[in-house]
Chains A and B, each alone.
Chain A
Amino acid sequence: MIEWLTTTNHKKIGTMYIVATLAFFIVAGALAGMIRLQLSHPNNTIVGTHEYNQIFTMHGTAMIFLVIAPFAIGLANFLIPLQIGAPDMAFPRLNATGLWLFVVGGLTVFAGFATYGGAAAAGWSNYAPLSEITIGTGAGEDLYLIGLTLTGISNILTAVNFIVTIVCYRAPGMTFWRMPIFTWEMVATSILILMAFPALTAVMAMVLIDRHMGGHFFDPASGGNPILYQHLFWFFGHPEVYIMILPYFGVVAEIIATFSRKPVFGYVGMVLSAFAIAGLSLGVWAHHMFTTGAVSNPFFSGISFLIAIPTGVKFVNWIGTMWKGSIEFSTAMLLCIGFLLNFLLGGITGVMIASPPLDYMAHDSYFIVQHFHYTLGGGSLFALFAALFFYFPKIFGVKLDERLGKWFAALFFLGFNVTFIPMGFAGLEGMARRVSTYPDVAHLALLNGLSSIGTAIIAISVILFFINVVISCLKREPVGDNPWGGYSLEWLTSSPPPEFNFHELPPIRSKLPAWDLMEERGISRV
């Protein structure tokens, strides 16, 4: 126990991130289940309005701050030194500090449930002045602000560590243009974190000052400006969407290339598009504020449309990688195909609401809920599970059962689409987000009922996933160094790797060191 609590080894830190995020995922998933139970019928009163506000706030917060983004950070912690041939991260103690700030921050956010008045209830965006009203959002709101401040600092420390490690600790011959796509995506993500997270930390501190120290940053009655909150929050919030998706773009590229038995198609385009997305994402924050009437809609609409171009480049790259490949439909690959289909829908609906007239109609409706769930659930979450299936042997030395995995992938895909397709239609029929119940009008009962059934299917699939983990870990069938036939450096060390990663490094002569070695030894990729 002490060994794990005090470790500074990047693999153990990465593993703890992953385990912690999965634990938070279970809680966040249970909260999603409660939301869908409440909305399964019109005029339901299973939970009260205030409880419902806490549930959806904590569901969104947990998924964004404690699951999807930090899982990628955990995975990167584990993988980056392996992929570039380094013995550890550049600053191991800083790395451990980042982990513990994240864990303590996450638990602090959830501790709000144990306080009088309950957890934070102002939505994951925590808009002021709503979050500054003390009644009903008492200690839980403060714990939320403190917890997110700590996780924000954790992200900043970790991003610095990633950049320094990648710049300074690449193995001999591992030039930038030979790095795996995942590592490249983490460079772009780290820069985004450094640009975006200070705004979040600042705005959380400003809300705390308003709440406890007589500040009036966001109080219009005293000369404050609530729009300032939205600017600062979304200057963080929109890049955060890409902080949650860019690493998974990398994961998908790695998996598709491995199971297509082909190098990544358009490697340079893939890298440049990641930076284009990262850069543009810093200039679109106020497309969340079109309806305030206080921002330049043409500017933010234009840049939002532009993001579709580099994202389209990535789709071309993924499809091009599969094209004429010798595709193996493993669970990870199936989840990546699910990712492509779902993320495409998330992207298309994103382009739709980048247009201010359409956004005015869809704003704060279930159409938006559908859009961002297709992006972050159908996108990131599918890639997260794909990463678990793909890297599980490398991290834990155990391969997850493929038959159960394929059942999981099929049910997860089915459940996801049954849950979220109806939400788009419910939104178009006028259903507002963040309401604890709705009247029995139009097709809302049918659409919400379908969504709730879909959520039950997702729950079954996730339970199946964890059963798979338990069964596979109990069986403990040994795996080789490179069970999938991967191409990057991490597949040339044991599973799990030794303490400082490599007993011996191979010469690195291309982007595909493991395949180079296989070719040298006359081993077929297929």
Chain B
Amino acid sequence: MKTFVAFFAGSAIFGVVTGVAYWLIAHEEATGTVLLGCMAAALAFTAAYAVIAEKNADLPGDDPQETPERAAGEALGIFTTHSAWPILVAISSLAMLVGMLWSPLIGFSGLAALLLCLWRLGAESARV
């Protein structure tokens, strides 16, 4: 986990350095500075979250001496095998976008279907 935090933190620093270098070299062109700034901010946010998450992490994958026998019994969660909602989310997303352009009726139906699918998907995930 520490390795991962280091990679995210390193990426964020790289983003800041590149953004500042770009601004110094090409400050008359704002788009690039904004893009690199957003990138650095996103990476910094992730790195910050990773630092906080790392404090509470006790992952068997991080311990080089850990064995499957010793880690046995640890709950990994329940992995679902089937769900009808993902494919319906995709179809309703398409209906919503297509409808937005050509048919408000299809668009609103798609939006309603998408919200319903996401709600059911969430409910299903909460159960299993």
B42 at the interface (CB under 8 A from A): yes
A8 at the interface (CB under 8 A from B): yes
Docked CA distance A480–B102 (Å): 54
Instruction: Find out whether the CB atom of B70 lies under 8 angstroms from the CB atom of A172.
Output: yes
CB under 8 Å from chain A, chain B span 112-128: 121, 124-125
B57-78 interface code vs A (CB 8 A; 1 in, 0 out)? 0011111111110110000100
CB under 8 Å from chain A, chain B span 85-105: 85-87, 89-91, 93-94, 97-98, 101-102
Q: Given the known A-B contacts A104-B91, A173-B64, are A235 and B97 also in contact in the complex, defined by CB atoms under 8 Å?
A: no
**A279 contact from B11, B68, B125, Cβ within 8 A:** B11
Can you name the residue of chain A whose Cβ is closest to the Cβ of B26?
A: A296
**A93 contact from B21, B62, B98, B124, Cβ within 8 A:** B124
Docked CA distance A282–B36 (Å): 8
Can you name the residue of chain B whose Cβ is closest to the Cβ of A84?
A: B61
Stretch from A62-70, A354-362, A412-420, A498-506 forming part of the interface with B? A498-506
Residues from chain A with a CB closer than 8 A to the CB of B94 are 104-105, 108, 146, 150
Residues from chain B with a CB closer than 8 A to the CB of A142 are 101
Instruction: Find out whether the CB atom of B68 lies under 8 angstroms from the CB atom of A504.
Output: yes
Stretch from A38-46, A94-102, A316-324, A444-452 forming part of the interface with B? A94-102
A460 at the interface (CB under 8 A from B): no
Residues from chain B with a CB closer than 8 A to the CB of A176 are 3-4, 62
Instruction: Find out whether the CB atom of A6 lies under 8 angstroms from the CB atom of B84.
Output: yes
CB under 8 Å from chain B, chain A span 259-284: 275, 279, 282-283
Docked CA distance A199–B25 (Å): 23
CB under 8 Å from chain B, chain A span 167-202: 167-178, 187, 191, 194-195, 199
**B22 contact from A169, A228, A279, A299, Cβ within 8 A:** A299
**B11 contact from A170, A199, A275, Cβ within 8 A:** A275
Instruction: Find out whether the CB atom of B76 lies under 8 angstroms from the CB atom of A87.
Output: yes
A435-448 interface code vs B (CB 8 A; 1 in, 0 out)? 00000000000000
A32 at the interface (CB under 8 A from B): no
**B68 contact from A105, A171, A500, Cβ within 8 A:** A171
B44 to chain A, nearest CB (A): 12
A241 at the interface (CB under 8 A from B): no
Docked CA distance A94–B124 (Å): 12
**A97 contact from B71, B76, B86, B97, Cβ within 8 A:** B86
Residues from chain A with a CB closer than 8 A to the CB of B42 are 194-195
**A170 contact from B18, B36, B59, B86, Cβ within 8 A:** B59
Excluding A150-B93, A299-B21, 9 further A-B contacts by CB distance (< 8 Å) are A8-B83, A93-B86, A101-B89, A101-B93, A108-B94, A170-B62, A173-B64, A195-B43, A294-B29
Query: Which residues of chain A have a CB within 8 Å of any CB of chain B?
Result: 3, 5-9, 84, 86-88, 92-94, 96-97, 99-101, 103-105, 108, 139, 142-143, 146, 149-150, 153, 167-178, 187, 191, 194-195, 199, 208, 212, 227-228, 231-232, 235, 275, 279, 282-283, 285-286, 294-296, 298-299, 303, 499-500, 504-507
Query: Which residues of chain B have a CB within 8 Å of any CB of chain A?
Result: 1, 3-4, 7, 10-11, 14-15, 18, 21-22, 25-26, 29, 31-32, 35-36, 39, 42-43, 59-68, 70-71, 76, 79-87, 89-91, 93-94, 97-98, 101-102, 121, 124-125
